[in-house]
Amino acid sequence: MRALLQRVSRASVTVDGAVTGEIGPGLLILICAMQGDSEAQAEKLATKIAKLRIFKDDAGKMNLSVRDNGGAALIVSQFTLAADLRGNRPGFSYAAAPDTGRALYDYFTTRIAAEGIPVAKGIFGADMDVSLNNDGPVTIWMDTDTL
């Protein structure tokens, strides 16, 4: 699985003019299931993200996780993280099939919540308008193949 994390002071996702998820301080997690991924990759990624120390402590050092900091997670499916850029028009054949992608997205969100992190979500497969205030900015790319 692939994820792009952004440390945010706030973030929200809107579908058809209605807010489907919003958070204050925490993480915006853009997530993509890749071909061959399983619940094991989703669990590995959720565990790593929950422990990742990218929030400032009282000394201003990145020593706290989203859980330590009392933050939340806004989780948005984004199959474009699987883009194949060999040509000028991206291909997405590396992404998991939609049914598999949806199942792994749902499993990943339950695993983040099980880590004690409040979760808000987008709508899988929808055309979403994502708004955020990146804090730092801190943006981190993750792939379970390299964890």
Instruction: Give yes or no: 80 in active site.
Output: yes
For the stretch 33-72, what's the b/e string if a residue is b when 16 or more beta carbons lie within 10 angstroms of its beta carbon? bbeebbeebbbbbbeebbebebbbeeeeeeebbbbebebb
Told to judge if 79 belongs to the known catalytic residues of this protein, a careful annotator would answer: yes
**Which of the following is catalytic: 6, 20, 79, 109?**
79
- Among the listed residues 6, 78, 109, 144, the single catalytic one is 78
Rounded to the nearest angstrom, the gap between the alpha carbon of residue 103 and the centroid of all alpha carbons in its chain is 15
What does the alpha-carbon distance between residue 40 and residue 54 come to, in Å, rounded to a whole number? 24
Is 35 tagged catalytic? no
Which helix H or strand E contains 106, and what residues bound it? helix 98-114
Out of 35, 80, 92, 139, the active site residue is: 80
**Enzyme catalytic residues:** 78-80
